[in-house]
Amino acid sequence: MKLDIETLVDLYRDMVLIRAFEFGLEREFKKGNVPGMLHTGVGQEATQAALAAHLTATDAFFPDHRCHGINALAQEKYQGDGERIMAELFGRATGVCSGKGGSLHSANPKVGNFGDNAVEGSYMATVLGVALAYQMRGQPNVACCIIGDGTVGRGEFHESLNMAAIWKLPVLYACVNNGYAISMPVGKGHASPDIVDLARGYGMPCVIVDGNDIELAYAEVQKAIEYIRAGNGPYFLEFKTWRWQGLFSGEFRPPEEVKYWKEERDPMRLAREKIVANSAMTAEDLKRIEAEVKAEIDQWINFAKGSPMPDPAKATADVYVGW
């Protein structure tokens, strides 16, 4: 399947936004303006843009710790205020969770964002219930759970896939296999470097996707979501990709590997080449898009920085509902 050029350019713009968001955030984090911890999605833009493109506001997704991009895209697309994701990361009152959640807990049900859970893998169980609600109510929606390759180590992986399978729940498992869990190579942490090998026994379709090729990723997500919406039950996608962020303490991966992924397999570059090869657009046109998006992200950062801190007394609100 070949993508029409408008869609491809739109997706490219989404990818640019993700990268600009992450780079801007990282810069502010290093300056000490963003508290807590930070995991960025740089390098995984194609996978993220493909998922975001197909999920509607009435679907649900559970973003992982590198999903600022998906969160921002959904927030911008459905509410027109992507800057509130940025503000949340800065711990501001204008953030989507008024500063209570931060990077690891930015949610907004209005855009289908059901929030990360920093205990990796725990929402593999939660996603079952969202899907069950769709099923019991006859809604043709999808509950998507985005997990890293490392997260697959958790017992909930098994409980979740099994229950989704026996109840034929509308769950899309999107495993972002970037080759490592912190420092642990996927092939050392799991019985197979291909996560699909661990998923196949549950009888759902299991597909490996080139997560750095936006065209392929877009098509595979589309297929999966159509399958699920048609009531066929769960579906498992494994995106092979790579994260640019090393460890907090620096790069630990072999230089050839770093070079390969950052240069030859850079999803941005691959997308740019496709666009230029298949349309009248030039590298200059794409640069203009990049500049536009970057300017917007700078505004978001300014919005976040200029936003007030939450009222401390709010810290005791909402522990219990109604009490």
Ligand X SMILES: Cc1ncc(C[n+]2csc(CCOP(=O)(O)OP(=O)(O)O)c2C)c(N)n1
Site residues for its own copies per CB under 8 A? 153-159, 161-162, 165-166, 188-192, 197-203
Out of 94, 178, 212, 307, the residue judged to bind ligand X by CB under 6 A:
178
Two tokens, residue 299: 């505004």
Q: Report the nearest approach of another protein to the CB of residue 168 (Å).
A: 12
Two tokens, residue 90: 């800065």
For 177, the enclosing helix (H) or strand (E) is strand 171-177
Q: Which of residues 17-46 bind another protein (CB under 8 A)?
A: 35-37
Out of 114, 180, 218, 242, the residue judged to bind ligand X by CB under 6 A:
180
Residue 215 interacting partner from Mg ion, its own copies, another protein, none (CB closer than 5 to 8 Å by kind): none
Closest alpha carbon to 148 in 81, 261, 241, 268: 241
255 makes contact with another protein (CB under 8 A): no
Residue partners of 243: CB distance under 8 A and separation at least 6: 40, 41, 42, 43, 44, 66, 178, 180
Residue 66 near residue 39, CB atoms below 8 Å: yes
Residue 240 C-alpha from the chain's centroid = 14
118 makes contact with ligand X (CB under 6 A): yes
* Piece of 72-80, 95-103, 200-208, 271-279 that binds another protein (CB under 8 A): 95-103
104 makes contact with another protein (CB under 8 A): yes
**Environment class of residue 222 by beta-carbon count within 10 Å: exposed (0-12), middle (13-18) or buried (19+)?**
middle
120 makes contact with ligand X (CB under 6 A): yes
**Environment class of residue 275 by beta-carbon count within 10 Å: exposed (0-12), middle (13-18) or buried (19+)?**
buried
- What separation in angstroms does the CA of 90 have from each of 139, 147, 248, 300? 36, 24, 19, 11
Residue 199 interacting partner from Mg ion, another protein, its own copies, none (CB closer than 5 to 8 Å by kind): its own copies
Q: Mask: binding to ligand X, 26-55, rule CB under 6 A, as x and -?
A: -------------x----------------
Q: Which of residues 237-256 bind ligand X (CB under 6 A)?
A: 243
Provide the residue type at 249 as one letter. Answer: S
- Residues in the interface with ligand X (CB under 6 A) total 16
Crossing angle between the packed helical segments 123-137 and 155-166, to the nearest 10 degrees: 10
Residue 178 interacting partner from another protein, its own copies, Mg ion, none (CB closer than 5 to 8 Å by kind): Mg ion
222 makes contact with another protein (CB under 8 A): no
Q: Report the nearest approach of another protein to the CB of residue 141 (Å).
A: 10
Separation CA 210–CA 208 (nearest Å): 7
Out of 63, 95, 148, 234, the residue judged to bind ligand X by CB under 6 A:
148
177 makes contact with another protein (CB under 8 A): no
Out of 1, 6, 138, 249, the residue judged to bind another protein by CB under 8 A:
249
Choice between 127 and 281, CB closer to another protein: 127
Choice between 200 and 262, CB closer to its own copies: 200
254 makes contact with another protein (CB under 8 A): no
Closest alpha carbon to 318 in 99, 83, 89: 99
291 makes contact with ligand X (CB under 6 A): no
Closest alpha carbon to 173 in 154, 190, 187, 192: 154
- For β-strands 235-240 and 206-210, DSSP reports them as parallel
Residues at the interface with ligand X (CB under 6 A):
39, 65-66, 118-121, 148-151, 178, 180-182, 243
Residues at the interface with Mg ion (CB under 5 A):
148-150, 178, 180
